[in-house]
Structure 1
Amino acid sequence: MADKVTRAATAEEVAAFEAKNEAGVVEPKAPVVKFAKSNKTRERVIPLEFPIEIDGVLLEEIVCRRLTGSQLMELGEQNPVELVTGYSVEIIQALDGDDAAAVMEAATDFLPRSIREPLKAARDKHMRDAERSLLSGQAMRPTSPTI
């Protein structure tokens, strides 16, 4: 059991509490908010073709979820893939290439449009450049746009 420090209420605090009770003042409760039913999906399960183990725990699928407003505000502090999947970038990078590509594509689909469109454009440009490099016989240094 954690140590807990308590103190007695002051006379002023007791008087204020009693006054609220006598006046019938009710402390406001936080609203209960949930998403309404919709024909649009808020998540997608990506089954892994090549499951991995993380600290001895088998990971066979990754669930990508749309961001909430509070998560959107965290984008400057945390990688979008981490927010959408709940897994660190290191875990996504440890996946098989095809699995990682499927997760990153799904994660991109669940980002807000203002972020998703420029990211998809950058990824498309990268793929065109890679294709051109392969067709010309020139080696292209493997890179990928960071999500």
Structure 2
Amino acid sequence: MSEKTEAAEAAAEKLAPAFDREAERFETVPLDWPVTIDGVRYESVTVRRMTVGEIGDFLLAMAKSDGERLRFPMYDVSDAVLERLDADDGDKIEEAVQRFLPRRFRTATV
């Protein structure tokens, strides 16, 4: 790889995207059953759209996961918090997730 190419790739890694319609790229889901975990109160979960790079990283992690359950990187809370939410709130969050997933990952509905 040439010095010029390496420099361009290094610069690209530092870029922060500024998406058009940024406000449409996420949704905050209010919880019907708020919960406090380790002293932190959770009253909502924000779900957001992913980038091409995040999808690629997720697919690589899936290939290496050895059957471990993985979640898309699109939440503002950790997997540990998501696991402890009420099941009905989990369903509400999943509805938002379906709206923000790339088409190829959406669940087919009948």
Which residue in 2 is equivalent to 1:142?
none
Extract unaligned runs of 5+ from structure 2. Answer: 1-6, 63-69
Moved more, 29-38 or 68-77: 29-38
> What RMSD in Å do the two structures reach over aligned CA positions?
2.5
Aligned mates of 1:75, 1:39 — CA distance in 2: 22
Aligned mates of 1:53, 1:97 — CA distance in 2: 15
1:99 aligned partner, one-letter code: D
Aligned mates of 1:57, 1:33 — CA distance in 2: 29
Which residue in 2 is equivalent to 1:80?
71
What is the correspondence of 1:120-139 to structure 2 with a 5 Å cutoff? 120-121=107-108, 124=109
Residues 97 and 50 from structure 1, CA distance in 2 versus in 1: closer, same or farther, beyond 3 angstroms? Answer: same
Alpha-carbon shift at residue 39 of structure 1 (Å): 7.8
Q: Conserved in 1, the CA contact under 8 Å of 2:71 and 2:79?
A: no
2:55 aligned partner, one-letter code: L
Alpha-carbon shift at residue 68 of structure 1 (Å): 1.0
**Structure with the higher strand share, 1 or 2:** 2
Identity in percent: 28
Of structures 1 and 2, the one with the larger relative CO (CA 8 A, separation 6+) is 2
- From 88, 92, 96, give the equivalent of 1:102: 92
Aligned mates of 1:45, 1:95 — CA distance in 2: 15
TM-score scaled by length of structure 1: 0.53
What is the correspondence of 1:1-147 to structure 2 with a 5 Å cutoff? 30-31=11-12, 32-38=15-21, 41-76=24-59, 77=61, 79-81=70-72, 83-116=73-106, 120-121=107-108, 124=109
Structure 1 or 2, whichever has the larger Rg, is 1
1:95 aligned partner, one-letter code: L
Extract unaligned runs of 5+ from structure 1. Answer: 1-26, 126-147
TM-score scaled by length of structure 2: 0.68
